[in-house]
Structure 1
């Protein structure tokens, strides 16, 4: 995928040499649909943050990025007209973007939906200054999907070790399957408990409510946190999904302490997501070559769900992932799911959700031309 991306990028640069971009869109334009967590610069935090554009008569597009962009580069996933994402490496300055799917016939004169999101769980900051479009292009309204997933987790949800990062992670794939907006707040090494863990100075029970991800502490130009304004999540999350705990057990957090932290976290989440369904994943565990799987916190997740039910919150659901991941589904070096493993997890969760009663949207809310069937 990377080699293809590089080749396409080269073609795009060549095609745009000498082509003036007559339409400049400032980062404050209300027709830019931002998703994920952005600070005021504006700059991205957390894997999967980005923006979406709906453009009439689009033939060229350049991202102008500021100095808060990760150096020497940040990897960005790009999708045109809901086709598969491909990787473009960007840096501070002007970045022509290859719009490969605009080469399909009969697209000229129509709108194009272009989606961008940072792929990495680290080195993932882009600082958007402006966007240059070709002469004659017009920015239109992007209408977000009626479905919006909020995923909360650690490395097992952030896409760590995957070639395309979060774009190949099970949560992102699930959102694509349902034609939904997706927001992913997941950080490798992070506990749910608010404590230091593997370079993260805070746990997710604290950091989820902040704009910045848990790597903020070592960021020279922005080593502080700011509370996240959840009204900026438009639409509000319709479904909340949590898979976390592997790092808590690694840090010797007891089952009792983890249970209380999880319950306190859900209580605070309910101040934001008043009645949305919350899906609590059990661990799929750590597979081994022998076929054995090491599970952690047995019974705890069921207890958490039962405790919510006991106080009248029936909209919390247990997703039992026992047996979902085997040795063939993980990287041998670190036991994290490989690309095929993430696809398997996504498919199993999609089936779970359909059986639960959620069906994919028939179409994306912002229509766009599709390539001809071959």
Structure 2
């Protein structure tokens, strides 16, 4: 017997509402089947329970983060109605985060439906961008998701204006941001940034303690505001109906202990944020000081990860730390640390359902020699690293770069070959021999100059472009 909508309820944020109905009840939606690409399912596509639509349904793994993801297309930015058809034959609710374009916007509880052949529809209302959007259902308990049949999607209202606070759903975050303090979201690792669209003639930002921040308004060249804190005016006297802004921060490194947090936008009287598009691809770069862009003054936006991804029109982030190794031996071993929200986290705390990378580029091995890592240990560590990245990002293309100093290159190549032999064909070795001339492209025979980073980006971009 189908459950009535009054029997099922859940708690959501103010930016979304949900009801459940026995039948799909959106007016003229576009239907996205869970079994049809580009939809993805961390589990299997099954057809053993009757009543589903199409050719099957997503039977997700019983695990936290084993997600079902849909890629939907909106003709315009605005409020959308989503109808998620599911069946839960247990008596235990299955809660999940709803992640839109990489940011969690609400939660949903998929209650029991009485039988695996009894399908009901959960209806959500939330904000989307114009064009392509990802809607990810990520379970928060070991029970996983219910069986998921399809998602009906329709833009039903105008864009929702935001207030510029850190939890404003119109603000798009890139990289690993800790959101436990609602007043100040904290940037983890290097290269994190945020983007927003806003109305009004001025824009500012709230900071807590001293930090170097960089920003760009309406895609103008990036500018620095060094050693600032408190309420900071970034621009005034702006003309036009709306504007865009990108903001990022210098990473903590060495003796620099700035406070890379975002306390919200300062909008003009009567102004608001509005929806802003998000690239369909995101590239995550994992590495050491070279990937950070140290010691160059204008890092991260003169470093090869930023340059290569921007040239591809992709979002990006740098999970990197000066002095990092691959293997955890008296240094930041990124085979372990990449699972954390920042270089100060004390345990593996990052929730990979927050965003999913389209591609992951690894550049590690320069520093392991100095920590006594043998070639055998390095190769086994790299195989483990690749397996962990695959677990975190089931659908990503993974690129393992040979380091520019020609260390552990054979072992890196062998680790990729081992993953390929195990059936993972989306792992690639990148031969960087000849990319960097230490005499002309580095400042100290190790770290590329800005011009050296530009050369690396020019070589790397077409390789990534083949796959994303």
Matched with 2:283 is: 149
CA contact (8 A) 1:121 1:188 kept: no
Task: Choose which of 233, 244, 260 in structure 2 pairs with 1:96.
Answer: 233
Q: After the TM superposition, which of the residue ranges 246-255 and 24-33 deviates more from structure 2?
A: 24-33
Match for residue 227 of structure 1? 349
Tell whether the 8 Å contact from 2:197 to 2:274 is kept in structure 1 after alignment: yes
Q: 8 Å contact 1:276–1:315 — kept in the other structure?
A: yes
Structure with higher RCO (Cα < 8 A, 6+ apart): 1
Q: Indicate the residue corresponding to 1:237 in structure 2.
A: 357
The residue that corresponds to 1:250 in the other structure is 370
Greater Cα radius of gyration, structure 1 or 2 = 2
1:62 aligns with 2:204: yes
In terms of mean alpha carbon deviation, does 307-316 or 24-33 score higher?
24-33
* SS of equivalent residue, structure 1 residue 26: coil
Q: Secondary structure at the match of 2:214?
A: strand
Aligned match of 1:115:
246
SS for the counterpart of 2:324 is: coil
Q: Is 1:79 aligned with 2:216?
A: yes
Whole-angstrom CA distance in 1 between matches of 2:212 and 2:313: 23
1:180-191 aligned at under 5 Å gives the runs 180-191=314-325
* Cα-to-partner distance string for 1:124-178 (whole Å, 9 max, x where unaligned): 5323233211123220112210011011000110011111111111001111111
What is the aligned-residue RMSD (CA, Å)?
Answer: 2.0
- Cα distance change, pair 143–301 in 1 and its aligned pair in 2 (3 A): same
Q: TM-score, normalised by structure 2?
A: 0.61
CA distance in 2, matches of 1:121, 1:153: 15
User: Quick one: which of 302, 308, 312 aligns to 1:178?
Assistant: 312
Distance 1:191 1:336, change over 3 A: same
- Residues 117, 225 of structure 1: CA spacing in aligned structure 2 closer, same or farther, 3 A cutoff? farther
Aligned counterpart in structure 1 of residue 452 of structure 2, from 302, 316, 341: 341
SS at match of 1:340: helix
1:211 aligns with 2:211: no
CA–CA separation in structure 2 for the residues paired with 1:281 and 1:125: 32
Change (3 A) 1:49 1:357: closer
* In structure 1, distance between residues paired with 2:308 and 2:299: 15
Q: What is the distance in 2 between the residues matched to 1:357 and 1:206?
A: 26
Equivalenced residues, count: 299
CA distance in 2, matches of 1:98, 1:225: 39
Which residue pairs with 1:371 in the alignment?
none
**What is the distance in 2 between the residues matched to 1:31 and 1:159?**
29
Larger strand proportion of the pair: 2
Residues in 1 aligned to 2:339 and 2:328: alpha-carbon distance in whole angstroms: 12
Contact kept in structure 2, 1:121 and 1:187, CA below 8 Å: no
The answer to whether the Cα contact below 8 Å between 2:251 and 2:260 also exists between their aligned partners in 1 is: no
Q: Secondary structure at the match of 1:151?
A: strand
Q: Distance in 2 between matches of 1:144 and 1:33?
A: 7
- Residues 1:29 and 2:168 aligned together: yes
Aligned residues of 1:154 and 1:191 also touching (Cα < 8 A):
yes
- Bigger helix share: 1
Residues 50 and 116, structure 1, Cα contact 8 Å, conserved in 2: yes
Partners of 1:330 and 1:164 in 2: CA distance: 15
Unaligned runs of 5+ in 1: 1-22, 217-222, 286-294, 359-374
Q: Flag the 1:283–1:136 CA change in 2: closer, same or farther, 3 A.
A: same
